[in-house]
Amino acid sequence: MVRGCSLMNEKIIRELAGEVNMLRQKLQNLYQEYEGVAQKLESQIKLFGESLTRSVKELEQDAATISQGLVNTKNKYFTALETRYTLGEIDEYEYKVQHEKFSQLIQKCLQNIEEMKSSILGLVGKHGEPRAEKISIQTVVLKEPTQTLNEKKSLIQN
């Protein structure tokens, strides 16, 4: 009877060892599959990061171009408006109204650019690259075209 129990125990041990080996093989297969998926995911994340970096740089360049275009347009418009006022083509009231409307329009455009910049920084900040300090969008103050908004802010803060 002891021998029968011993044979039964050996049989159970062999079966358990076989199941353990089978589970080890399944686990090894799952791990290899996981490694393959992780490598593909890492590669796709890298490609996405590179694409995001290119897109952010393009948006940064576009925003800087738009900002500079707004400054140039503003300067030309105000020069033309002042000329019309000086020549008497428009009165002081019309000059002030047009000046104010155009100033508000330009300011709204600049605010939209700043909002775009904030959105980009928010998106980029979550993914790590590109870093926020790499993104800089030129901003301007309407009444002082030679002074950037950032300089103006630092003067106010000091």
- For residue 94, is pLDDT > 60? yes
Is position 65 within any domain? yes
The model carries a pTM of 0.49
In a domain, 146, yes or no: no
Is 52 within the bounds of a domain?
Answer: yes
H helices, E strands: number in the chain: 3, 0
Asked if residue 152 is part of any domain, the answer here is no
Per-residue pLDDT reduced to its tens digit, 24-47: 999 999 999 999 999 999 889 888
- Tell whether the model's pLDDT for residue 109 goes beyond 70: yes
Does 142 fall in a domain? no
Q: Are 59 and 120 in contact (CB under 8 A)?
A: yes
Q: Is residue 74 part of a domain?
A: yes
Residue ranges making up the domain that contains 15: 2-128
Confidence of residue 5 (pLDDT cuts 50, 70, 90): low
